[in-house]
Chain A
Amino acid sequence: MHSRVLLWSALGLALLLVMPWLLLQALPQNQAQFWTANILGRGIVFGIIAMSLTFLATYGGFISLAQMMVAGVAGYTLAIFVDGAVPRIAGGLGYGLAIPLAILAATVMGLIVGAIAVRTRDIYLLMITLALAMGIFRFIETNIAWFNGYEGIRNVVGPDVFGFDFRNAYVFYYIALGTAGALYFGVLYLVRTPFGLVLQGIRDNPRRVAALGYAVGPHRIAAFGVAGFIAGCGGVLATIYNIGISPGSIGLGATVNVLIMSVIGGLGHPIGAFVGSLVFTFFDTFSASIYDRERFNTLIGVVFLVIVLLSPDGLLGAGARLRKMLGGRDAP
Chain B
Amino acid sequence: MLSVRDLHVRFGQAHILQGVSLELGAGALAIVGRNGMGKTTLCQAVMGMVAASEGEISLEGQSLRGLAPFRIARRSVALVPQGRRTFPSLSVDEHLRLVSQGRTARWNIERIYQTFPRLAERRRNGGTELSGGEQQMLAISRALLMNPRLVIMDEPSEGLAPVIVEHLIQVLRALPADGMSLLLIEQNLRVATEVAGEVAIMVTGRIAATMPAATLANDPDMQRRYLGVSAGGH
Residue positions of A touching B, CB distance < 8 A: 1, 192, 194, 197-198, 200-201, 203-205, 207-208, 210-216
Contacts and interface: CB of A to CB of B under 8 A. Distances in A.
Which of A197, A207, A210, A211 gathers the greatest number of chain B CB atoms within 10 Å? Answer: A211
A213 B74 contact: yes
A213 B89 contact: no
Contacts of A210: 49, 68-70, 73
Given A1-B124, A211-B79, A204 B69 contact: no
Contacts of B124: 1
Contacts of A200: 87, 89-90, 94
Nearest to A218: B70
A198 B98 contact: yes
Interface in B22-63: 47, 49
B73 A197 contact: no
B140 interface: no
B97 A208 contact: no
A57 to B, nearest CB: 13
Contact of B94 (A197, A205, A212, A213): A197
A194 B81 contact: no
Contacts of B78: 211-212
A205 B79 CA distance: 14
B99 interface: yes
Contacts of B70: 210-216
B88 interface: yes
A212 B88 contact: no
Category for how many chain B residues contact A: 20 to 34
B65 interface: no
B89 A211 contact: no
B5 interface: no
Interface in B123-170: 124, 142, 146
Interface of B: 47, 49, 68-70, 73-74, 78-79, 81, 85, 87-90, 94, 97-99, 124, 142, 146
Given A200-B87, A204-B89, A211 B94 contact: no
A187 to B, nearest CB: 15
A205 B89 CA distance: 10
A217 B94 CA distance: 21
Closest 5 CB pairs of A and B: A213-B73, A210-B69, A204-B87, A197-B98, A210-B70
6 contacts: A197-B97, A200-B90, A204-B87, A204-B90, A205-B87, A213-B146
B73 A212 contact: yes
A213 B67 CA distance: 12
A213 to B, nearest CB: 3
Given A203-B89, A207-B49, A212 B99 contact: yes
A196 to B, nearest CB: 9
A208 to B, nearest CB: 5
Nearest to A59: B89
A203 B73 CA distance: 19
Given A211-B47, A212-B78, 17 more contacts: A197-B98, A198-B98, A201-B90, A204-B90, A207-B49, A210-B70, A210-B73, A211-B78, A211-B81, A212-B73, A212-B99, A212-B146, A213-B70, A213-B74, A213-B146, A215-B68, A216-B70
A15 to B, nearest CB: 28
Contacts of B87: 200-201, 204-205, 208
Contacts of B99: 212-213
Nearest to B87: A204
Contacts of B142: 212
Nearest to B73: A213
A58 to B, nearest CB: 9
A211 B97 contact: no
A209 to B, nearest CB: 8
Contacts of A214: 70, 73
A203 B88 CA distance: 10
Contacts of A212: 70, 73, 78, 98-99, 142, 146
User: Which residue of B69, B99, B124 has the most chain A CB atoms within 10 A of its CB atom?
Assistant: B69
A23 to B, nearest CB: 38
Contacts of B47: 211
Contacts of A216: 70
Contacts of B85: 205, 208
Contacts of B73: 210-214
Nearest to A214: B70
A205 B85 CA distance: 8
Question: Which of B74, B85, B89, B146 has most chain A Cβ within 10 Å?
Answer: B89
